[in-house]
Structure 1
């Protein structure tokens, strides 16, 4: 036999196989021994107070300003509508500043103490949902329309 073949005869192969099996057992036993020796325990676990989390308070300003802007857009659509030509049809409106849109229905004109007013129902579709409003706008002095009433239904 050659010298290389002589180095690994059948007796040495069994020695190598048993050594690798022992090494595998030891490699699996070491992590288990760490857990069994008290390395991790739920009773000893504590809350990590070094982590700080929070949330920001909800701001009512953007929604309120969006609603006010939409209310102004609706008032402008109500004041500029030609009621006789509409014949009961809905008046569409859209506010590019807020992305809201909707339609104005039940638009009726009346006089209140000599002042010209318009009563209406308006729908509003926006990122926060769909809503229905009842409102009333009246013509004030100097030809300016003012919203007298605007309530969500």
Structure 2
């Protein structure tokens, strides 16, 4: 064997080992890619479990009743204070009221009693001190035939 033959043989061995490594790398890469494609195709085809989400939401937002406004929660406390008040004393002594449920309070500054037909009605003005701020309200409550008082109007002064 000559030096040329030995060099050629060494080069052929290197070439063979390089091409075998490259071929093995290509096969391993293709196999890895194939496993990933097959493994992830279930997630992609089904939208990662979101395919059923359209049928899940059966709650209608309009079906949930809205909570009573804070002013209407306080209306019962104000009505009780107005209906039990001595109308002749209000001008000298404004009537305080408080609602423990809402945390609001206020002062009834005027009550005018009127008779409408057979009904006695009281028109009033009050303040309402709440977490939303201070506001002035006007309202009207009337005594029904059975002696109970009914609030006929209550709202912020405009």
Asked if Structure 1 and Structure 2 have the same fold, meaning a TM-score greater than 0.5 normalized by the shorter chain, the answer is: yes
Aligned to 2:82: 78
Structure 1 residue 123, shift from structure 2 partner: 0.7
Report if aligned partners of 1:88, 1:106 keep a CA contact under 8 Å in 2.
no
Aligned to 2:116: 112
Q: What are the ranges of 5 or more consecutive residues in structure 2 without an aligned counterpart?
A: 1-64
Q: Distance in 2 between matches of 1:62 and 1:125?
A: 20
Number of residue equivalences: 95
Aligned to 2:93: 89
C-alpha root-mean-square deviation of aligned residues, in Å?
2.2
Aligned to 1:102: 106
Q: Distance in 2 between matches of 1:99 and 1:136?
A: 23
Aligned runs of 1:137-148 on 2, under 5 Å?
A: 137-148=141-152
Structure 1 residue 146, shift from structure 2 partner: 0.5
Runs of 4+ in 1 over 4 A off after TM superposition: none
Q: Distance in 1 between matches of 2:129 and 2:120?
A: 28
Aligned to 2:140: 136
After TM superposition, the score normalised by the length of structure 2 is 0.54
Aligned to 2:50: none
The 3 A distance-change label for structure 1 pair 117 and 88 is: farther
Q: What are the ranges of 5 or more consecutive residues in structure 1 without an aligned counterpart?
A: 1-59
What SS does the aligned partner of 2:146 have? helix
The 3 A distance-change label for structure 1 pair 130 and 107 is: same
After TM superposition, the score normalised by the length of structure 1 is 0.56
Structure whose alpha-carbon radius of gyration is higher: 2
